[in-house]
A and B are shown apart, each in its own frame.
Chain A
Amino acid sequence: MKYFKKYKGVMKDEETGERIKDSVEYIQRESDKALIPCVEGNADYQAYLEDKDKIVEDFDYEAEDLRQQTASAEKKIADDKEAEIQAELRKMAIERIEARK
Protein backbone atom coordinates (compact mmCIF):
# COMPACT_ATOMS: atom_id res chain seq x y z
CA MET A 1 0.00 0.00 0.00
CA LYS A 2 1.10 3.55 -0.66
CA TYR A 3 1.34 6.24 2.03
CA PHE A 4 2.33 9.88 2.17
CA LYS A 5 4.28 11.16 5.13
CA LYS A 6 2.93 14.47 6.46
CA TYR A 7 5.81 16.03 8.35
CA LYS A 8 4.09 19.36 9.02
CA GLY A 9 1.07 17.94 10.79
CA VAL A 10 -2.49 18.51 9.77
CA MET A 11 -3.58 21.54 11.78
CA LYS A 12 -4.11 24.96 10.25
CA ASP A 13 -4.79 28.28 11.94
CA GLU A 14 -8.41 29.20 11.20
CA GLU A 15 -7.66 32.93 11.00
CA THR A 16 -4.38 33.06 9.07
CA GLY A 17 -4.50 29.72 7.26
CA GLU A 18 -0.95 29.06 8.43
CA ARG A 19 -0.02 25.43 9.00
CA ILE A 20 0.61 24.56 12.63
CA LYS A 21 3.10 21.87 13.47
CA ASP A 22 1.22 19.14 15.26
CA SER A 23 2.82 17.26 18.12
CA VAL A 24 1.83 14.06 16.35
CA GLU A 25 3.20 12.97 12.97
CA TYR A 26 0.72 11.69 10.41
CA ILE A 27 0.72 9.51 7.34
CA GLN A 28 -1.97 9.64 4.70
CA ARG A 29 -3.17 6.42 3.08
CA GLU A 30 -3.36 6.96 -0.67
CA SER A 31 -6.34 4.66 -1.28
CA ASP A 32 -8.89 6.61 0.76
CA LYS A 33 -6.84 9.63 1.92
CA ALA A 34 -7.29 8.59 5.54
CA LEU A 35 -5.10 10.58 7.92
CA ILE A 36 -3.41 8.18 10.30
CA PRO A 37 -1.58 9.49 13.38
CA CYS A 38 1.71 7.71 14.02
CA VAL A 39 0.83 6.68 17.54
CA GLU A 40 0.62 3.40 19.36
CA GLY A 41 -2.95 2.24 19.81
CA ASN A 42 -4.00 3.13 16.26
CA ALA A 43 -4.79 -0.07 14.36
CA ASP A 44 -4.17 1.56 10.97
CA TYR A 45 -0.71 2.70 12.08
CA GLN A 46 0.06 -0.84 13.26
CA ALA A 47 -1.02 -2.15 9.85
CA TYR A 48 1.26 0.44 8.24
CA LEU A 49 4.21 -0.72 10.36
CA GLU A 50 3.54 -4.36 9.53
CA ASP A 51 3.04 -3.75 5.80
CA LYS A 52 6.26 -5.08 4.28
CA ASP A 53 5.33 -3.91 0.79
CA LYS A 54 4.42 -0.36 1.71
CA ILE A 55 5.58 2.58 -0.35
CA VAL A 56 6.14 5.81 1.57
CA GLU A 57 6.52 9.21 -0.07
CA ASP A 58 6.72 12.72 1.31
CA PHE A 59 3.45 14.60 1.15
CA ASP A 60 3.49 17.22 -1.61
CA TYR A 61 2.09 20.33 0.08
CA GLU A 62 2.55 22.49 -3.02
CA ALA A 63 0.53 20.03 -5.09
CA GLU A 64 -2.15 19.95 -2.40
CA ASP A 65 -2.32 23.77 -2.29
CA LEU A 66 -2.58 23.85 -6.08
CA ARG A 67 -5.32 21.22 -6.01
CA GLN A 68 -7.27 23.20 -3.44
CA GLN A 69 -6.87 26.46 -5.37
CA THR A 70 -7.94 24.78 -8.61
CA ALA A 71 -10.96 23.16 -6.94
CA SER A 72 -11.91 26.50 -5.40
CA ALA A 73 -11.56 28.32 -8.74
CA GLU A 74 -13.59 25.65 -10.52
CA LYS A 75 -16.33 25.97 -7.93
CA LYS A 76 -16.39 29.74 -8.32
CA ILE A 77 -16.67 29.42 -12.11
CA ALA A 78 -19.49 26.87 -11.70
CA ASP A 79 -21.27 29.10 -9.17
CA ASP A 80 -20.90 32.17 -11.39
CA LYS A 81 -22.17 30.18 -14.37
CA GLU A 82 -25.15 28.96 -12.36
CA ALA A 83 -25.91 32.49 -11.19
CA GLU A 84 -25.68 33.72 -14.78
CA ILE A 85 -28.10 31.03 -15.99
CA GLN A 86 -30.53 31.79 -13.18
CA ALA A 87 -30.41 35.51 -13.98
CA GLU A 88 -31.03 34.79 -17.69
CA LEU A 89 -34.00 32.51 -16.87
CA ARG A 90 -35.44 35.18 -14.57
CA LYS A 91 -35.05 37.80 -17.28
CA MET A 92 -36.79 35.57 -19.86
CA ALA A 93 -39.69 34.88 -17.48
CA ILE A 94 -40.18 38.60 -16.85
CA GLU A 95 -40.10 39.29 -20.61
CA ARG A 96 -42.80 36.63 -21.21
CA ILE A 97 -45.01 38.08 -18.50
CA GLU A 98 -44.56 41.55 -19.95
CA ALA A 99 -45.40 40.25 -23.48
CA ARG A 100 -48.70 38.77 -22.25
CA LYS A 101 -49.85 42.08 -20.78
Chain B
Amino acid sequence: MADKKISDLTELTTPAAEDLLAIVDNSGTPVTKNITYTNLVPTGTTANKIVQLDGDAKLPAVDGSQLTGISTGATTALDNLASVAINTSLISDTDDTDDLGSDAKKWKDGYFAGDLKVLGDIYTAAWTDYSATSTITGWSEFTTKQIYTKKIGKTVFVQFHLAGTSDSATTSFTIPYTSTQDIGGGTADVLDNNTWFDGSTVIILASSGTLVRITKGGSSAGWTDSGTKRVRGSIWLPIA
Protein backbone atom coordinates (compact mmCIF):
# COMPACT_ATOMS: atom_id res chain seq x y z
CA MET B 1 0.00 0.00 0.00
CA ALA B 2 1.59 3.24 -1.10
CA ASP B 3 0.64 6.91 -1.20
CA LYS B 4 -2.51 6.41 0.80
CA LYS B 5 -3.90 8.75 3.43
CA ILE B 6 -6.73 8.92 5.91
CA SER B 7 -9.03 11.65 4.73
CA ASP B 8 -12.07 11.04 6.89
CA LEU B 9 -12.69 9.27 10.18
CA THR B 10 -15.93 7.46 10.87
CA GLU B 11 -17.09 5.09 13.59
CA LEU B 12 -15.66 7.46 16.22
CA THR B 13 -15.46 6.37 19.86
CA THR B 14 -14.23 8.24 22.90
CA PRO B 15 -10.50 7.73 23.57
CA ALA B 16 -9.56 5.87 26.73
CA ALA B 17 -6.37 6.10 28.89
CA GLU B 18 -5.28 2.58 28.01
CA ASP B 19 -5.35 3.23 24.24
CA LEU B 20 -1.94 2.76 22.64
CA LEU B 21 -2.76 5.08 19.78
CA ALA B 22 -5.77 7.26 19.22
CA ILE B 23 -6.46 9.33 16.16
CA VAL B 24 -8.54 12.25 17.16
CA ASP B 25 -10.34 14.95 15.25
CA ASN B 26 -8.78 18.29 16.20
CA SER B 27 -12.15 19.90 16.42
CA GLY B 28 -13.17 17.34 19.01
CA THR B 29 -12.04 16.81 22.57
CA PRO B 30 -9.65 15.92 24.05
CA VAL B 31 -7.02 17.16 21.53
CA THR B 32 -4.12 15.67 23.58
CA LYS B 33 -4.59 12.37 21.79
CA ASN B 34 -3.59 13.83 18.40
CA ILE B 35 -0.92 11.87 16.56
CA THR B 36 2.23 13.88 17.39
CA TYR B 37 5.81 12.61 17.83
CA THR B 38 5.78 13.60 21.50
CA ASN B 39 2.91 11.33 22.00
CA LEU B 40 4.34 8.55 19.84
CA VAL B 41 8.04 8.71 20.94
CA PRO B 42 9.03 8.59 24.59
CA THR B 43 11.99 11.03 25.09
CA GLY B 44 14.24 11.41 28.14
CA THR B 45 17.53 10.19 29.62
CA THR B 46 16.23 7.24 31.59
CA ALA B 47 15.93 3.63 30.48
CA ASN B 48 14.23 2.89 27.15
CA LYS B 49 13.87 6.59 26.28
CA ILE B 50 15.13 8.35 23.18
CA VAL B 51 17.59 11.19 23.80
CA GLN B 52 16.43 14.59 22.62
CA LEU B 53 18.67 17.65 22.15
CA ASP B 54 18.00 20.37 24.68
CA GLY B 55 17.03 23.97 23.98
CA ASP B 56 20.70 24.83 23.16
CA ALA B 57 20.88 21.99 20.64
CA LYS B 58 23.20 20.04 22.95
CA LEU B 59 23.00 16.50 24.18
CA PRO B 60 21.71 16.27 27.73
CA ALA B 61 23.81 14.49 30.36
CA VAL B 62 23.70 10.79 29.54
CA ASP B 63 25.82 7.77 30.43
CA GLY B 64 28.21 7.40 27.43
CA SER B 65 30.26 4.51 28.80
CA GLN B 66 29.20 2.18 25.96
CA LEU B 67 29.94 4.56 23.10
CA THR B 68 32.39 3.26 20.48
CA GLY B 69 34.16 4.67 17.42
CA ILE B 70 34.85 8.02 19.09
CA SER B 71 38.34 9.61 18.56
CA THR B 72 40.15 9.74 21.90
CA GLY B 73 43.12 11.91 20.76
CA ALA B 74 43.78 15.17 22.56
CA THR B 75 44.40 18.43 20.73
CA THR B 76 47.86 20.02 20.65
CA ALA B 77 46.62 22.63 23.08
CA LEU B 78 45.19 19.86 25.30
CA ASP B 79 42.06 22.00 25.50
CA ASN B 80 39.78 19.00 25.12
CA LEU B 81 40.93 17.39 28.34
CA ALA B 82 38.57 17.37 31.26
CA SER B 83 39.32 20.08 33.80
CA VAL B 84 40.82 17.63 36.25
CA ALA B 85 44.41 16.67 37.08
CA ILE B 86 45.97 13.92 34.96
CA ASN B 87 45.53 10.73 36.93
CA THR B 88 47.16 8.29 34.53
CA SER B 89 50.37 7.89 32.56
CA LEU B 90 50.86 10.34 29.70
CA ILE B 91 51.84 8.00 26.90
CA SER B 92 52.21 8.71 23.20
CA ASP B 93 50.27 6.62 20.70
CA THR B 94 53.53 5.87 18.84
CA ASP B 95 57.23 5.34 19.53
CA ASP B 96 60.09 7.80 19.02
CA THR B 97 57.95 10.33 17.13
CA ASP B 98 56.11 12.84 19.33
CA ASP B 99 57.86 15.76 21.04
CA LEU B 100 57.25 17.38 24.39
CA GLY B 101 57.52 21.11 23.69
CA SER B 102 59.68 22.68 20.98
CA ASP B 103 62.54 25.17 20.60
CA ALA B 104 59.99 27.97 20.33
CA LYS B 105 57.56 26.65 22.95
CA LYS B 106 59.47 25.30 25.91
CA TRP B 107 58.10 23.92 29.14
CA LYS B 108 59.40 25.89 32.11
CA ASP B 109 60.42 23.74 35.05
CA GLY B 110 60.33 19.99 35.28
CA TYR B 111 60.07 17.94 38.45
CA PHE B 112 60.70 14.22 38.67
CA ALA B 113 60.67 12.17 41.82
CA GLY B 114 62.03 9.12 40.04
CA ASP B 115 64.51 8.41 37.28
CA LEU B 116 64.86 10.20 33.96
CA LYS B 117 65.75 7.81 31.15
CA VAL B 118 67.12 9.43 27.99
CA LEU B 119 68.21 7.24 25.08
CA GLY B 120 69.37 10.21 22.98
CA ASP B 121 71.77 12.98 24.03
CA ILE B 122 71.29 15.63 26.73
CA TYR B 123 72.65 19.09 25.93
CA THR B 124 72.01 22.79 25.80
CA ALA B 125 74.66 23.18 23.10
CA ALA B 126 75.93 19.94 21.53
CA TRP B 127 79.63 19.14 21.03
CA THR B 128 81.14 21.80 18.76
CA ASP B 129 84.72 22.26 17.60
CA TYR B 130 85.80 25.79 18.58
CA SER B 131 89.41 25.42 17.38
CA ALA B 132 88.90 27.56 14.27
CA THR B 133 87.82 30.50 16.45
CA SER B 134 90.06 30.02 19.49
CA THR B 135 93.19 32.05 20.14
CA ILE B 136 95.85 29.40 20.73
CA THR B 137 99.28 30.07 22.19
CA GLY B 138 102.14 27.59 22.09
CA TRP B 139 102.33 26.41 18.50
CA SER B 140 103.51 27.83 15.19
CA GLU B 141 101.82 25.03 13.25
CA PHE B 142 99.45 22.18 14.02
CA THR B 143 99.05 18.62 12.91
CA THR B 144 96.01 18.23 15.17
CA LYS B 145 93.78 21.07 16.36
CA GLN B 146 90.58 20.21 18.23
CA ILE B 147 88.83 22.13 21.00
CA TYR B 148 85.38 20.66 21.54
CA THR B 149 82.87 22.18 23.94
CA LYS B 150 79.51 20.94 25.13
CA LYS B 151 77.11 22.91 27.31
CA ILE B 152 74.60 21.22 29.60
CA GLY B 153 72.64 23.81 31.53
CA LYS B 154 75.18 25.96 33.36
CA THR B 155 78.04 23.51 33.05
CA VAL B 156 80.46 23.38 30.11
CA PHE B 157 82.67 20.44 29.22
CA VAL B 158 85.84 21.00 27.20
CA GLN B 159 87.87 18.32 25.42
CA PHE B 160 91.00 19.35 23.59
CA HIS B 161 93.73 17.79 21.48
CA LEU B 162 96.42 20.10 20.14
CA ALA B 163 99.61 18.91 18.51
CA GLY B 164 102.25 20.42 16.27
CA THR B 165 105.41 22.49 16.35
CA SER B 166 105.98 24.44 19.55
CA ASP B 167 107.10 28.04 19.38
CA SER B 168 106.36 29.18 22.93
CA ALA B 169 107.14 28.31 26.54
CA THR B 170 103.45 28.75 27.39
CA THR B 171 100.44 26.72 26.33
CA SER B 172 96.92 28.11 26.30
CA PHE B 173 93.72 28.49 24.31
CA THR B 174 90.49 30.43 24.61
CA ILE B 175 86.99 28.96 24.88
CA PRO B 176 83.62 30.58 24.11
CA TYR B 177 82.37 30.43 27.71
CA THR B 178 83.28 32.44 30.81
CA SER B 179 83.97 30.48 33.97
CA THR B 180 82.32 31.67 37.18
CA GLN B 181 84.93 29.99 39.35
CA ASP B 182 88.68 29.53 39.53
CA ILE B 183 89.41 26.14 38.04
CA GLY B 184 92.61 24.23 38.66
CA GLY B 185 92.31 20.61 37.74
CA GLY B 186 91.38 18.44 34.83
CA THR B 187 93.61 15.89 33.24
CA ALA B 188 96.04 16.20 30.35
CA ASP B 189 98.33 13.93 28.40
CA VAL B 190 101.45 15.91 27.54
CA LEU B 191 104.27 15.59 25.01
CA ASP B 192 106.88 18.35 25.24
CA ASN B 193 109.73 18.63 22.76
CA ASN B 194 109.06 15.10 21.46
CA THR B 195 109.19 13.64 25.00
CA TRP B 196 106.23 12.41 27.02
CA PHE B 197 106.03 14.23 30.34
CA ASP B 198 105.58 12.04 33.45
CA GLY B 199 105.14 14.88 35.95
CA SER B 200 101.99 16.66 37.02
CA THR B 201 100.04 18.86 34.68
CA VAL B 202 97.30 21.24 35.75
CA ILE B 203 94.70 22.90 33.59
CA ILE B 204 93.94 26.39 34.89
CA LEU B 205 91.00 28.63 34.12
CA ALA B 206 90.55 31.85 36.06
CA SER B 207 87.18 33.00 37.36
CA SER B 208 85.53 35.40 34.88
CA GLY B 209 88.04 34.18 32.33
CA THR B 210 87.92 32.37 29.00
CA LEU B 211 91.62 31.47 28.77
CA VAL B 212 92.53 27.85 29.51
CA ARG B 213 96.20 27.45 30.46
CA ILE B 214 97.99 24.14 30.70
CA THR B 215 100.89 24.04 33.12
CA LYS B 216 103.67 21.52 33.10
CA GLY B 217 105.45 20.65 36.32
CA GLY B 218 103.71 23.44 38.17
CA SER B 219 104.97 26.17 35.86
CA SER B 220 102.83 27.79 33.20
CA ALA B 221 106.01 28.77 31.32
CA GLY B 222 107.73 25.42 31.64
CA TRP B 223 107.34 24.33 28.03
CA THR B 224 110.02 23.98 25.40
CA ASP B 225 109.54 26.47 22.59
CA SER B 226 110.61 24.00 19.90
CA GLY B 227 110.04 20.44 18.84
CA THR B 228 106.71 18.62 18.84
CA LYS B 229 104.23 19.57 21.52
CA ARG B 230 101.03 17.64 22.16
CA VAL B 231 98.39 18.23 24.82
CA ARG B 232 95.29 16.12 25.11
CA GLY B 233 92.85 16.48 27.98
CA SER B 234 89.54 17.64 29.38
CA ILE B 235 88.11 20.08 31.90
CA TRP B 236 84.66 21.22 32.95
CA LEU B 237 83.58 24.60 34.25
CA PRO B 238 80.53 26.33 35.71
CA ILE B 239 79.09 29.27 33.81
CA ALA B 240 76.52 31.93 34.63
Which A residues are within 8 Å of any B CB, using their own CB? 10-14, 19, 23-24, 28, 32-37, 39, 41-45, 64, 67-68, 71-72, 75
Contact = CB atoms under 8 A, between A and B. Distances in A.
Contact of B165 (A12, A32, A39): A12
A32 B226 contact: no
A10 B174 contact: no
B132 A33 contact: no
B142 A10 contact: yes
Contact of B167 (A19, A42, A64): A64
Given A12-B165, A68-B165, A75-B226, A39 B132 contact: yes
Interface in B22-75: none
Contacts of B233: none
B134 A11 contact: no
Interface of B: 132-145, 163-165, 167-168, 170, 172, 174, 176, 193, 210, 225-227
Contact of B139 (A35, A37, A45, A71): A35
Given A33-B168, A75-B193, A11 B135 contact: no
Contacts of B134: 37, 42
A32 B225 CA distance: 11
A10 B132 CA distance: 10
Given A37-B134, A42-B174, 16 more contacts: A10-B140, A10-B164, A11-B142, A11-B145, A12-B164, A14-B163, A32-B170, A35-B137, A35-B140, A39-B132, A43-B174, A44-B174, A67-B167, A68-B140, A71-B227, A72-B226
Contact of B137 (A14, A24, A32, A43): A32
Contacts of B176: 41
Q: Which of B134, B164, B170 has the most CB of A within 10 A?
A: B134
9 A-B pairs closest in CB distance: A71-B226, A14-B143, A34-B137, A12-B141, A44-B135, A33-B168, A36-B135, A35-B136, A24-B132
B133 A33 contact: no
Contacts of A35: 135-137, 139-140
Nearest to B210: A43
Contacts of A36: 135
Contacts of B164: 10, 12
Contacts of B165: 12, 68
Nearest to A11: B142
Nearest to A19: B141
Given A72-B226, A72-B227, A37 B137 contact: no
A12 B142 CA distance: 6
Nearest to B176: A41
* Centre residue among A19, A33, A71 by max chain B CB count within 10 A: A33
Contacts of A10: 139-142, 145, 164
Contact of A68 (B137, B138, B174, B226): B226
Contacts of B167: 33, 64, 67
A34 B163 CA distance: 15
A67 B140 CA distance: 11
Nearest to B145: A11
Nearest to B163: A14
A44 to B, nearest CB: 5
A52 B210 CA distance: 25
